[in-house]
Amino acid sequence: MLASSRAARRRSAREDRKKALTRLFRFLIGLTGTLFGIVFDLVLLAGTPLAYLAASFAIFDLPAGWMFGHKPMTGLGIGLFAAAILVSVFGIFRAMQGSPPVVPVRPKFAKAMLALGWVTGFLLAIADLSA
């Protein structure tokens, strides 16, 4: 740099700025990806047990409501019932395969909570029908 021309120094400064901006951009992209990953993990951690519980309730409540005439059978209700079946089947298959639970608990506790969720869903469906 001591004997370099003004044009060479400018070119070198431009390249340094370009490298710095590239590093900053890559850092921001990585940070954004990490933050979205953390948010996704937290939603999965908190949402999975609630989804299993809601699905177990919907599996009992929707058909019972349709059979006893408390609720009309609509496309949205059928879609919700199908989604509840998929979530429940996914949870049951994971439990039967011995897969580690999504939430940080012991597998035996997760299986017990899944069964308790089904019992709770059944009792809530009965309570909903009696109201």
Distances (CA, A) of 81 to 18, 47, 64, 117, 121: 55, 18, 12, 17, 14
Q: What pLDDT, on the 0 to 100 scale, is given for residue 3?
A: 61
Instruction: Report the run of H or E that residue 119 belongs to, with start and end.
Output: helix 107-130
Mean pLDDT by 10 residues, the chain (131 residues): 75 92 96 94 85 90 88 90 92 82 78 88 89 75
In the numeric block, which tokens belong to residue 48? 């999975």
Boundaries of every domain in the chain = 6-130
CA separation for the pair 110, 114 (Å, rounded): 6
Cβ proximity of 54 and 120 under 8 Å: no
CA separation for the pair 52, 30 (Å, rounded): 32
Q: What pLDDT, on the 0 to 100 scale, is given for residue 82?
A: 95
Q: What pLDDT, on the 0 to 100 scale, is given for residue 81?
A: 93
* Structure letter (DSSP) for residue 3: T
pTM confidence score? 0.65
Distances (CA, A) of 16 to 10, 29, 45: 10, 20, 43
The amino acid that residue 37 corresponds to is G
Which one, of 108, 59, 130, lies nearest residue 51 by Cα? 59
